[in-house]
Amino acid sequence: MIDNTTKEAIKQQLIKFCENYTSDNKASTALGISNAYVSQIKNGKWDAISDDMWRKLSKLVGFSMEDGVIHADTRTYVAIKQCFDNSKLYSNVMAAIARSGSGKTYALDRYRQLSQNVFYYKCKRSTTPKEFLTELLRSMGKNATMGSIAALLRQLENMCERLELPIIIIDEIEKTKNDILYLTIDLYNTIHRKAGIVYLGTPYFKERIERGVERGRMCFPEILSRLGGKFIEVPSANSKDAAMVVRAHGISSELEVTEIVNDSSDNFRNADLRRVDRLIHSKKIAA
């Protein structure tokens, strides 16, 4: 059962989330929950709200159900944050490539939690152009289920023009069909200099675009051009980063630190931070 102290902490995180929007109604739209829930929680009237809803809300507003926030400035985190800051401050369009398990998702979640006007969409294989745009608009607090692609782009442009230093982050872009890649051209043409855009992906995204350019495939040179002509290759987490994360979680025994680092790193000393997290969890359970 979730205690009142945790509920109060989630409530405060919800209040902080709502400050990114001009109304609670837009914030609830972005969260994908009823505005009544938002109102009840902010007013402390939460007796009828289930634990499942509290857990769902905690994830949506970026609150960790664990004790405290454990953070380490890994080189992956620092590089991704610099990329986001650049895009946000100067309305640049960029593509950042990060190896799986390097801590990309953590860096993204933390940036969304600590910065204002950060809008996000995680791509799926089934994503359609209309879903892509309607979900982006929903993340900004606007329901837009009707209209053509052109109309949705105009709505997105209008939303960006009203905000201070907005940034749109598109994650796992490599999973999408070519129709979404083609749409990035229209997105650039519509909101360039009105909002920053960062496309996050694995090295496969870079290979896919470059291969399309080499083969002369339609639109691929234009896509690469609108990404700035190159990809920002985020450094992978290494064994030093892994050790930093382990120590941040309170494991001070150098023997245990070394065991986790060795078990989570390959022959090139690249570390999988998902594996690090699992091994830390196992150590804590054993203790």
Please state, as a whole number, how many other Cβ atoms lie within 10 Å of the Cβ of residue 31: 22
Place of tokens 């609830």: 28
The type of residue at 262 is N
Is 27:20 a contact under the CB 8 Å cutoff?
A: yes
How confident is the prediction along the chain (287 residues), in pLDDT tens digits per residue?
A: 677 878 888 888 888 888 888 889 988 898 888 888 899 999 988 888 888 888 888 888 877 655 445 788 999 999 999 999 999 999 999 999 999 889 998 899 889 888 889 999 999 999 999 999 999 999 999 887 778 999 999 999 999 999 999 999 999 999 999 999 999 999 999 999 999 999 999 999 999 999 999 999 999 999 999 999 999 999 999 999 999 999 988 888 899 999 999 999 887 688 999 999 999 988 888 77
Both structure tokens of 247: 């120590």
Separation CA 197–CA 193 (nearest Å): 10
H or E element, residue 168: strand 167-171
DSSP letter for 195, please: S
SS3 127: coil
pLDDT at 66: 54
Please give the pLDDT value at position 67: 46
pLDDT at 179: 94
* Of 104, 108, 156, 159, nearest in space to 134 by CA: 156
Crossing angle of the two packed helices 239-248 and 254-264, in degrees rounded to 10: 130
Q: What is the pLDDT of residue 196?
A: 97
pLDDT at 64: 65
**Residue 259 near residue 225, CB atoms below 8 Å:** no
pTM: 0.83
Q: How far apart, in Å, do the first and last CA atoms of the chain sit? A: 24
pLDDT at 147: 83
For residue 2, give the nearest of 46, 45, 33 by alpha carbon: 46
Q: In what order do the strands lie in the sheet with 232-233?
A: 118-122, 167-171, 196-201, 93-97, 232-233
